[in-house]
Each structure stands twice: as structure tokens, then as C-alpha cells.
Amino acid sequence: MPVEEWDKDAGAMRTLDRFETVNQASALWSRPKSEITDDQYKSFYQHVSHDSGEPLAYTHNRVEGRTEYTQLLYIPAKAPFDLYDRQRRHGIKLYVRRVFIMDDAEQLLPAYLRFVRGVVDSSDLPLNVSREILQESRDVKAIRDGCTRRVLSMLEDLERDQPERYAQFWSEFGQVLKEGVGEDFGNAERLSKLLRFASTASDDDAATVSLAQYVARIKDGQSAIYYVTADSPASARNSPHLEVFAKKGIEVLLLTDRVDEWMLSFLREFDAKPLVSVARGGLDLGSLQDEQEKVATKKVAEEWAPLVERVAKSLAERVKAVRVTDRLTESPACLVADEGDMSGHLERLLRQAGQKTPDRKPILEINPQHPLVRRLQDEDARFDDWSRLLFDQALLAEGGQLDDPAGFVRRLNAMLVATGAGA
């Protein structure tokens, strides 16, 4: 606009023949990175995210080629309150040639990266772009793929160069990132390397162990990655299914997030080693179990076959089968899911969500070395009650819920009274 100044002689403002710039501001993302300070990046993050804190990491790039666009993307340090609402508004603002288009461009990043904040400025999209056009545009698909790769690269750099900051990221957004294993098959391998889990190798319940770290310290002869799913870290760490693994010093991953069971249906192996649940199917430790142990296990199973048959007959309506265990060293019994069947943990999660679940009978494994199981051999009058007590204890140990709590208490009290009288 024209410059004005005060004319003392005329006693009024006088317009000059030169002009001044009223608005000196420019889009931050359109400026070269060398001209932008770290404080300016952080200040802009607070503006676009409405977050008073600083970002955990950010990336600023101009992409040229068949599709031209500029991206300025941030990873927050703290998760928003609505992170787990998949219908929430996303944090990417779309501009076309520095003209603001929309505040919630969910097509620019997959749902599992919904925590990312920032700006994408396209040089190719039309100014009258709509959400329908965004869904069908090949340019938008190219931008989406490019932004996804850039965010994953940023996380990989964070994991490699700043493990403490990546641990902070995982504690805030790890459960959401796990969704990508089943949603983004093109990047599933990259995502699997970013996953973190709690482990029996540490007394800490924090999820700090990667699959690569697990494989790097795997025992000689171990051919699988073992894991257990549970509702809480304490329940997972104290699961009876871990007893033989603890005895042999085999590391087991502890999975306690609600998304884990769903994620595992897509994550079948890592580095050519299958992921195997310690609570599913027959336990095969391969060369970790020497020939002498295998012969002894087979011999014990033959010796206790009559009792196994009696227990199976007594619990026919509740279990698919009964067998002598090679998992347990301290507990009297445990429940395992047959190969191809739904796990007990997944069944409980579906019921909590109000979903119907197929009828499922678990397999009961008994430990002949436990005094309670040995007592069954000499029991006739209360054999059914004691067998049911074994089943209920195993169900409780894996985090299940009893159909008849009062009946369990009654049977338990009767056992205690009988044991006391026998003593």
C-alpha cells in the first residue's frame, strides 16, 4: 500500500510515491529448511496442533517428480485424549499452492498414523478439491504413500539414534502403531521391526524388547519366537504356561494390549521364525528338549493314561480332551487352545465387546507330579468334584471367569475339610 507521512506545513497526512509491504509473513513450509530455526518449527507445531508442548520429532521435505508437494509432519510427545477413537478428526491440514483447503485430510495418512500432525501443500491438486476427489485421486494416493514412508523413516531414525525418545513414543502410541501390521501390508515388515514388547528376560513390565533383539539372543536350537497373551502384565508373567520355559531359561514375550490378539493373526513370523503361543496346541520345544526328556514324558503319559481317561469322562461337557502336560512344573493343571481354535484370551475380549463367540472347548493338561493330581488316583466319592476343581483352577489361572463361583467355593471348602481330616 502507498506510504503516508505527516506534512507539517499542510497540517495533514501526505501520500508518497513509494509503497510498503503490509503482510511480510510467508508459509513456513514453503521456505528453505536452512532459513528456519528449530524454535520456529516448534512454534509452528504448537500452532497447527494446539499443543502447548514440544514435538517428539518432525520432518520437512519437498517432493518433486510426477507429483509435487511439500510436507511438514510432526510426531507429538503426548497422546491426545481421543487417540483410540478411530472416527476422530485427523491432524493433517491440506493446502494447495499455499491456499488452505481443509483441516481434516484423513486421506493423506492411514488410520494407524492418526496421531501425526502437520501440513501437506500440493502443487498438483485443484483448488476446488473435495473429499470425494481426494478418495479417487491418484495424486492423493501418491502423497499418502510418500507421507507414510516418511513417517516410518522418522520413527526408524528415532529408534536407531534416540532409543530413549523412541521408548517415550512407544509408551504413548505403541498400541495404535500395532494396528498397521494388519492394515498396511505393504509396510508390515517395517512396522514389525518397530514393535516393542515386555519380556520374561526383564523384571520390568515396560515394553522395551524388539523382535530383532529377541532373535539376536535366542537359544541354540530354538526355532520359534514364544509369546503369551493376557489381560495384564502380572497375569502374563505368572501364567502357568511359562513354567517349563522358565525352567529352561527360554525367553517369552508378554503381550497384554487388547490389539495384540488381532495383530498376531497377521504377524505370523519374523526373520523366518514363527511366532508361537505358549498356550496353544501341543508344546514342541524341538532340540531344546533332549531325547531323555521326551522318553520320560511319553512314559509318564502311558502310566497316567487311566486317570486321564477318568478325568476326560468327568469333564466331557467342558473340555475337548485331557492329557499329561509337558508345560507345567509347579501348577496342577492348565488350559490350552487346540490348533485352529480361538484362544481363551481372545474369546474374553470379544465377549467384553458384546460380540458372539463360537462354542469352544479347551484342552486340559494335568501335572502328575503335583500332589493334588496324585490325590485323584485314590479318590472315588468326590472324583467329579475334584476334577471340576482342577478345571476351575486352570480357568482362573489363565484369567477366565467361572460359570458357577458359588459351586467352586463349595468344592474348594470340601477339599480343604477332607484334606484337613486326612492329615
pLDDT along the chain (423 residues), means of 10: 67 67 63 90 89 92 90 92 69 87 83 92 83 75 93 95 95 94 93 96 90 93 91 91 91 93 92 91 74 82 91 92 91 89 79 78 92 85 89 90 89 81 54
Count CB neighbours of 287 within 10 A: 11
Phi, psi at 354, each rounded to 5°: 80, 15
399 Cβ contact list (under 8 Å, min separation 6):
230, 231, 235, 344, 345, 348
Cell numbers given for 228: 503369551
Phi, psi at 363, each rounded to 5°: -100, 130
- Tally of residues, the chain: 423
What's the pLDDT at 21?
Answer: 47
Q: How are strands ordered across the β-sheet holding 57-63?
A: 57-63, 69-75, 117-122, 91-96, 99-102
What's the pLDDT at 26?
Answer: 65
What's the pLDDT at 18?
Answer: 67
Is 311 within 8 Å of 274 (Cβ atoms)? no
Q: What's the half-sphere exposure (Cβ side, CA atoms, 13 Å) at 152?
A: 24
What's the pLDDT at 264?
Answer: 92
Is 112 within 8 Å of 183 (Cβ atoms)? yes
Distance of CA 149 to the CA centre of its chain: 20
Is 268 within 8 Å of 275 (Cβ atoms)? yes
pTM value is: 0.85
What's the pLDDT at 173?
Answer: 93
Instruction: Map residue 409 onto helix, strand or coil.
Output: helix
Separation CA 180–CA 187 (nearest Å)? 8
What's the pLDDT at 158?
Answer: 95
C-alpha closest to that of 328 among 281, 278, 362? 278
